[in-house]
Amino acid sequence: MPELRFRHRTAEGIVEATAESPEELDAFELAIPVEPPEVWGAGVTYERSLDARVKESAVKELYTLVYDAERPELFLKDSGCRRTVGPGEPIGVRGDSSWDVPEPEIAVVLGKRGALAGLTIGNDVSSRDIEGTNPLYLPQAKIFAGACALGPAVLVPDDWEAPLEIRMRIADAAGSELFAGETSTAKMRRSFVELAEWLVRDNPVPAGSVMLTGTGLVPPDDFTLEPGHVVEIHVPGIGTLTNPVVAAADLLTTTRSENNV
């Protein structure tokens, strides 16, 4: 039987628990289900992502080469959980970017030596215009305050190869729907195991890290995330990850104040 693990806040602190279904999570004030020492991302793992990045980029052939290659695109998204938030917490958009999007993904929790330990929902928030200007700007397009969200729970499935549906809805501050769409991991170019094996090759990735596996769901080119928007990503069997959108600079100010930086 699949196992669903989550963490929630109580008067005594954060408590770990299990649930039989995502519906049970509604009764709790959820915390991020895992605090990964590192978060890694994989790109161009769906044809839809390939099409979007070819269209946005000034160097279009690079993404086609990666999609067809044996070696996947992998990048470091976060370390020390400094830029990663949980359910209900705000994600950020960069102030120096005019085209920002959520990227709904399955996130794999990794055990020792890249073993698959669990699955959760990830949002790889990205600045498409920064990466599109030059692929060498990828770190700036992917790494900033509130650039990643994980939750609401970690699923340990019975069948690791069973396809997962991924649905996303974006609403404005008034609740009006701005975008809705869905995809499936059945459309992935690479498997979770393949990506994890490449990630830990000659690379000391600590157990408990998370690997984002790429997106197959991209809003239209005339859409950009703005402060006040709300992103909902739903995966049956895991639940719904909901995050409001704010300016990344606001999150950076809060973080600096809390850490006296």
Query: What pLDDT, in 10s, does the model give residues 168-179?
Result: 999 999 999 999
* pLDDT mean across residues, the chain: 93
E strand map for 1-50: 3-10, 13-19, 30-31, 38-43
Q: How confident is the model at residue 58 (pLDDT cuts 50, 70, 90)?
A: low
The C-alpha atoms of residue 233 and residue 170 are separated, in whole angstroms, by 9
Higher pLDDT, 249 or 56: 249
Residues in the chain: 261
Q: With 50 as the cut, is the pLDDT of residue 114 above it?
A: yes
Tokens read off for 111: 């055990």
What confidence score (pLDDT) does residue 1 get? Answer: 74
Whether the Cβ atoms of residue 154 and residue 121 lie closer than 8 Å to each other: no
Q: How confident is the model at residue 61 (pLDDT cuts 50, 70, 90)?
A: confident
The C-alpha atoms of residue 74 and residue 155 are separated, in whole angstroms, by 23
E strand or H helix that includes residue 137: none
Tokens read off for 27: 């009764």
The C-alpha atoms of residue 108 and residue 165 are separated, in whole angstroms, by 15
Tokens read off for 234: 């739903």
What confidence score (pLDDT) does residue 261 get? Answer: 41
The model carries a pTM of 0.93
Q: How confident is the model at residue 52 (pLDDT cuts 50, 70, 90)?
A: low
Q: Which residue has the tokens 């996303």?
A: 168
